[in-house]
Amino acid sequence: MAESKALIFQIQKMSTEDGPGIRTTVFFKQCPLKCIWCHNPESILKKKQLEWFKHKCIGCKICIETCPKGALNLDEDGMHIDRDNCDSCGLCSDECPSTALHMFGELWDLEDLYYEVQKDKIYYTQSLGGITVSGGEPTLQSDFILNFLRKCKDNGISTALDTCGYASKNIYEKILPYVDLILLDIKEINTQKHEEYTGAPNTLILENTIWISDYVKQNGKKLWIR
């Protein structure tokens, strides 16, 4: 059964780092890797996550008073979030006057997400840009991604897939017909180091790299290794 909604942690407009031209990059939550250098650690788990930013906190404790679960405590060491009790309702982050608390992860349905990204279609057209699906690892929400990419392509929006390569070939076979550019983010060639740095072996990634390379040659796609 196709996924009716996707969990997304950020939609970045006017992006110039994730493919050619001006783009909208949609960051999907959940990743199979746990890279020690990950600059989006809030993207790893496929669930909403509450995070606290010390430099924004004014110590008002409105969040603590608001939390219906009593899952927050602020002391001299910082904010302590009881992850077992927190149900990610978002009330605390909604009430925080300094935006020190932020809930990462929002459910989007297909039509709403497409409506959001198509607002900048004129910029994509003028700059030869488009949309990029990224993460996390977007292929982990493959049914939704497939329908989203297809809808963008059907409406004349160029598409790119930013992937770490850690997915079954069947998923790539399903998705890539609706992708113009593949951004393949290879972390490490050495298998032992890859597992040490990311928590997973790279055998599947290297196999997919060869397959994707052949696929783009045969189907007129573009591939960027990064």
CA dist 93 and 201 (Å) reads 37
Tell whether 113 and 23 lie within a shared domain: yes
Mean pLDDT across the chain: 95
Confidence of residue 59 (pLDDT cuts 50, 70, 90): very high
On whether both 54 and 143 belong to a single domain, the answer is no
**Residues 27, 124: one domain?**
yes
Do residues 172 and 160 share a domain?
A: yes
* pLDDT for the residue numbered 39: 85
In this prediction, residue 129 carries a pLDDT of: 98
Rounded Cα distance, 92 and 217, in Å:
50
HSE, CB side, 13 Å, CA atoms: give it for residue 89.
Answer: 14
Cis status of the peptide bond prior to 136, with omega within 30 of 0: yes
Q: What is the pLDDT of residues 130-169, one digit of tens each?
A: 999 999 999 999 999 999 999 999 999 999 999 999 999 9
Query: What confidence score (pLDDT) does residue 2 get?
Result: 57
Question: Which pTM value belongs to this model?
Answer: 0.89
| Domain assignment of residue 67, given as a range | 49-104
Helix (H, G, I), strand (E, B) or coil at 2: coil
Q: What is the CATH number of the domain that holds 116?
A: 3.20.20.70
CA distance 163 to 87: 30
pLDDT in tens, 8-56: 999 999 999 999 999 999 999 999 999 999 988 889 998 999 999 999 9
Q: How far is CA 100 from CA 10, 38, 56, 69, 123, in A?
A: 17, 21, 5, 19, 33
Of 80-89, 126-135, 170-179, the one with minimum mean pLDDT is 80-89
Residue 125 host element (H or E): helix 121-127
Same domain membership, residue 71 and residue 111 = no
Q: Do 175 and 201 sit in the same domain of this protein?
A: yes
Is the predicted pLDDT of residue 3 greater than 90, yes or no? no
Q: Is 99 in the same domain as 110?
A: no
Provide the number of structural domains found in the chain.
2
Four-residue CA torsion sign, 217, 218, 221, 223: negative
- Do 31 and 142 share a domain, yes or no? yes
Tell me how far apart the terminal alpha carbons of the chain are, to the nearest angstrom. Answer: 33
Pair 126, 208 in one domain: yes
At which of 61, 82, 104 does a domain end? 104
Q: What is the pLDDT of residue 1?
A: 42
Q: Does 210 have pLDDT greater than 50?
A: yes
- Are residue 71 and residue 134 in the same domain, yes or no? no
CATH number of the domain that residue 62 is part of: 3.30.70.20
